[in-house]
Structure 1
Amino acid sequence: MKKIIILLVAALLIAAYFALDLHRYLTLDGLKAGLGQFETWRTSSPLLVGLLFFAAYVLVTALSLPGAVIMTLAAGALFGLLGGTVIVSFASAMGGTLAFLTSRYLLRDAIQQRFGERLKAINDGMARDGALYLFTLRLVPVFPFFLVNLLMGLTPIRTRTYYWVSQLGMLAGTLVYVNAGTQLAKLTSLSGILSPGLLLSFALLGIFPLLAKQLMNYLQRRRVYAKWHRPKQFDRNLIVIGAGAAGLVTSYIAAAVKAKVTLIEAHKMGGDCLNYGCVPSKAIIKSARIAHQMRHGEHYGLENTMPAFSFRKVMARVHDVIRTVEPHDSVERYTELGVEVLQGYARILDPWTVEVTLNDGGTQVLTTRSIVIATGAQPFVPPLPGLDEVGYVTSDTLWDEFAKLDAPPARLVVLGGGPIGCELAQSFARLGSRVTQVEKGTRIMVREDEEVSALARDALARDGVAVLTGHTALRCEREGARKFIVVEHGGVEQRIEFDALLCAVGRVARLSGYGLEELGIETKRTVATNDYLETLYPNIYAAGDVAGPYQFTHIAAHQAWYAAVNALFGDFKKFKVDYSVVPWATFIEPEVARVGLNEQDAREKGIAYEVTKYGIDDLDRAIADGNAHGFVKVLTVPGKDRILGVTIVGEHAGDLLAEFVLAIKHGLGLNKILGTIHTYPTMAEANKYAAGEWKRAHAPQRVLAWLSRYHAWRRG
């Protein structure tokens, strides 16, 4: 109601302005014709005329009415250079701020809700450098100031900052126009005020803050590098530390553009994903799923069969899969691509020098123009008393440790309810372990919506996993050969006996031993970087898990492009990392995949949304495959088909998500998906049917009612 009242008042004032033909006074001819009368009024009541003029100027600028330029001239003619400048300077800043606040109150929330994700980069830039951008615009009077007022109101710049920057930034233009007003009799047109030379001067003045910013950046770089001696020439264009996903892609791109690049890896090529994460975990998930299907053969019209298998062979297959994929990330392959690969430990001595302690003995010291830190992350081991005494495995070590076993652990405790913990808990339960999963939080997979967490918990429970949420691990105890973990829930302690304990409570960046502390590079949970992945030193970058904010292989590869291009070509053009569309999946059964916002994210951010949901239990292919469970849930802008986010639960959810990732990335709405032919019968039809559900909910009922009457008339 308040917004409606403000709009009505503004509309009435604007209507009155034109209805009363007041705009005739705010032309050059009108000003000249009425100047004598204005002068008479000013002579008789200078204070009152000054205040009325001030109020009128504020009102004109607040309502974004045409005529502010004429009023500025009038101020010069009536009050002189000094008086006119003071009045106009404060009145224009106040009026502009009122227009700014009106735009903010009436429009900002709606605009941010509708385009919030797309405007994120602008919002971040305004929060960081808004005053500089505004000052630059205010220095160039050619740019319509009323547009500046209205558009800036949509951004997060602070009102106080907006006012004082406007007050200062408009002063130069105000002086020019007020001075012209003092010579009003000689003025024949507004175009005569700003000569081409003066326009160029203003343009240069507007560029000055940007040049000043570049100068400040240059001085900051000099200060950062002051204590280091920069080599006159370099051995390499780029050195990459770490051969995981981020390091491999970075070095590949560098070699592809013919840069001289060295990749340094102390342990295994391929990093965590190949050796400990994505590849081995998916291999064991597949074996566990086959075992599960054999036990439930009757679901497919077959006999239930208790799978007989050698656990050693299952683990051997995991290692066979790793060895099969290994050549993709091997030293030989990257050497053929033009990357120099050194196997050893890297330490950064100064911003351009890296010392490599080679695995086979010896040391190399290399100079380079740029460095990319891609050292990845490792499992976090909680500081539980007694943990070392009872022994434990992590998602890194279990593949070698469990490969020594003849059978899966009879009693397995999994600490952690995130994606890794859930995937491995379900897999080992299906392979015959009695699994207890301990999660401190109130639910597992806490980043997903509550209904998704509940479905995941039910799925694990059906496979025999005892999921203990709200349980805090206190300590581990040993009694001879017996091992226990003590957990607390609701003030009551419980002892759980186990044969093996898997720590899967998260991963932490590898930060130690690379010389970062000595260089003064900030390292808390990750290496601190800016939007371009630069560290404290503009020629040292970080990418992948060590940089955050996401710990996904595909994000590491995504960041690698920015790290490589900025490191090699940043002197010409730098690119900010784009995190606007980030997909991920958890490979339990049923799979959980997501891109963009889910409901809990939207609520936390205050973003309005509609939910469209299609149950996969109604999909022909899912019914035929015996996988008729799960759903496709799409969040859209209210009343629009623009997609804010998608969550899919079901068979091949990670694969089905790709269509929505593409749609969000390129601004394609649900109508486009609905209008696309999907092969029948496939799981991908679920995406089309979800779009159909949205269309049905937004069908134009009035038009359909008229069509019903039309067809009835046609039938006679």
Structure 2
Amino acid sequence: MTIESNIDVMILGAGGGGYPAAFRLAQSGRSVVMADPIGNLGGDCLAEGCVPSKSVREASLARTWPDKYPLFGLRGTKPEVDWCAVLAHKDRVQSLRYAQHRAQIEASSLVFHKGVGRIVDERTVEVAAAHGELHRYHAKHLILATGSRPHVLPIPGAELAVTSHDFFRLGADLPFPRRLVAIGAGYIGLETASMLQNLGAEATVLEVTGEVLPGVDPEIARFLHAALAQRLRILVNAKVTAIERGASGDLLVRYEQAGEAKSIEADCVLMATGREPVLPEGVSILGLPVKGKIDVDDRLRTKHEHIYAPGDVNGRSMLFHSAVYQSLVAADDILSEGRGNKTMDFPSVPFTVFTEPEVAWVGQTEAEAARENLATIASTYSYKTDTRAQIFGEDGFLKLLFEKKTGRLIGAQIAGIEAAQLIAPLALAVRQGTTAEILSYMAFPHPMISEGINHAARAVGL
């Protein structure tokens, strides 16, 4: 049975790129239908990414507190790890949020289908619903927000590795890895290795390039490498060639380093080599210039102005909070019938790495500005001189980059405690073009790391 309907907006995907637009449009009186194979909101972020991984991460950090006890004049023992209970905590948080999202759907006019939508033509999508009926929607606008999935290296034995899905999905039952090998020193590999080491694992990270967090500001990468190398075994310039199952049941990861063939044993291998966009079924019918991702402009429009592709599917800024921002920009463009002034400001989207210690950044680096022949002044504030960092016995730094001509902030990098929290106001400052003078004369609470913004801004003398 096929049910045909005419609607205003059809949305494929209920993650960060899809559901903010869905609610914004529905609240504005548009008829909106959304389809997602998970059957709820949140996409991979809630299903197996940001939310569950940070639930485990916070459990791991709680266990490290006794390591700091001597600094504060305290004594105590380090707690034992009940891995099943840690996973149960993660499941509790996921389930709580899924229940919250179900209530949001029920309270809205949104029509939601659990299922995969298939593009039929530029304005038509078919969705096979759970009860067997086929829905065919003819829409004025399409929003393609099908997200991303873990990238898997095309190497022999790749199927023996696990991904973030296996660790963090709802109901995950992966045994605790006593000897973890993470392939890839991007944020997923480093975060997972860091939290599992805090919980008692021996962790090794293999990175094919010459430094962790490839492509990131070198000062940030070097700081994090040095800090994590005290707890993790980090091998750079290590090209993984195969994964094998040994006679004893253990895994053997083979890699090449400096022209020499090497191997390392593990009981768990994490494939953490990045993420890749998931293209909607039938997307080829649209005639879009697709090369593993969907090209969009800063209003998230494809070459068809009534079709939008916010979030990971466009590959421009593959972060949940960026997807939410993009989703709202797309919704506003639809509501204004393409005449609005809302655009996506990709440079002001902050990036955080939830390792221990944290690092975060936003905007341009000195090298990027130099490539644009942009004269800049950088100012670094060392945690060694910061009151709060001294209280916690922590090292780190905060670096601000200003355009010399205008004095406006164009980039920031933070390494150390509270980096993930502190990057948000700096992202706002980058977005607003806030100047060094304004940042110099703002009152930040004492004694907090945020005071470093004042100190760094004053030091440039603009």
1:531: Cα distance to partner? Answer: 3.7
**1:689 paired to 2:455:** yes
1:440: Cα distance to partner? Answer: 0.3
1:474: Cα distance to partner? Answer: 0.8
Instruction: Determine helix, strand or coil for the equivalent of 2:360.
Output: strand
1:263: Cα distance to partner? Answer: 1.2
In the alignment, what sits opposite 2:401? 635
Amino acid at match of 1:275: A
1:281: Cα distance to partner? Answer: 1.4
* Equivalent of residue 440 in structure 1, options 208, 211, 221: 208
**1:483 paired to 2:255:** no
In the alignment, what sits opposite 1:592? 359
CA distance in 2, matches of 1:360, 1:589: 47
* Equivalent of residue 318 in structure 1, options 90, 115, 137: 90
* Equivalent of residue 250 in structure 1, options 4, 12, 21: 21
1:574: Cα distance to partner? Answer: 6.8
Q: Deviations over 1:163-220 (max 9, x none)?
A: xxxxxxxxxxxxxxxxxxxxxxxxxxxxxxxxxxxxxxxxxxxxxxxxxxxxxxxxxx
* Match runs of 1:288-687 below 5 Å: 288-303=60-75, 305-330=77-102, 332-388=103-159, 391-400=160-169, 403-405=172-174, 408-463=176-231, 465-480=232-247, 481-512=249-280, 514-570=281-337, 572-573=339-340, 575-624=342-391, 626-638=392-404, 641-687=407-453
Matched pairs, number: 457
* Equivalent of residue 280 in structure 1, options 35, 49, 52: 52
1:433: Cα distance to partner? Answer: 1.0
CA distance in 2, matches of 1:490, 1:412: 23
Amino acid at match of 1:429: Q
Tell whether the 8 Å contact from 2:39 to 2:115 is kept in structure 1 after alignment: no
CA distance in 1, matches of 2:289, 2:404: 42
1:677: Cα distance to partner? Answer: 1.7
CA distance in 2, matches of 1:568, 1:675: 39
Q: Deviations over 1:221-265 (max 9, x none)?
A: xxxxxxxxxxxx962110111000110111011012111111111
Instruction: Determine helix, strand or coil for the equivalent of 1:603.
Output: helix
In the alignment, what sits opposite 2:11? 240
Q: Deviations over 1:4-47 (max 9, x none)?
A: xxxxxxxxxxxxxxxxxxxxxxxxxxxxxxxxxxxxxxxxxxxx
**Structure that is richer in helix per residue:** 1
Instruction: Determine helix, strand or coil for the equivalent of 2:424.
Output: helix
Instruction: Determine helix, strand or coil for the equivalent of 1:593.
Output: strand
1:355: Cα distance to partner? Answer: 0.7
Tell whether the 8 Å contact from 2:94 to 2:170 is kept in structure 1 after alignment: no
CA distance in 1, matches of 2:338, 2:454: 45
TM-score by length of 1: 0.61
TM-score by length of 2: 0.93
* Match runs of 1:95-110 below 5 Å: none
**Structure that is richer in strand per residue:** 2
Change (3 A) 1:581 1:432: same
Instruction: Determine helix, strand or coil for the equivalent of 1:235.
Output: strand
1:629: Cα distance to partner? Answer: 1.4
Amino acid at match of 2:353: T
Amino acid at match of 1:341: F
Change (3 A) 1:418 1:605: farther
Change (3 A) 1:282 1:571: closer
Comparing both chains, which one has the higher relative contact order based on Cα–Cα distances under 8 Å and sequence gaps of 6 or more? 2
Q: Deviations over 1:616-636 (max 9, x none)?
A: 221212222x15311111111
Tell whether the 8 Å contact from 1:345 to 1:359 is kept in structure 2 after alignment: no
Greater Rg by CA: 1
CA distance in 1, matches of 2:129, 2:459: 60
Instruction: Determine helix, strand or coil for the equivalent of 1:397.
Output: helix
Q: Which runs of 5+ in 1 are unaligned?
A: 1-232, 699-716
Tell whether the 8 Å contact from 1:297 to 1:305 is kept in structure 2 after alignment: no
Amino acid at match of 2:230: R
Change (3 A) 1:444 1:304: farther
Tell whether the 8 Å contact from 1:295 to 1:305 is kept in structure 2 after alignment: no
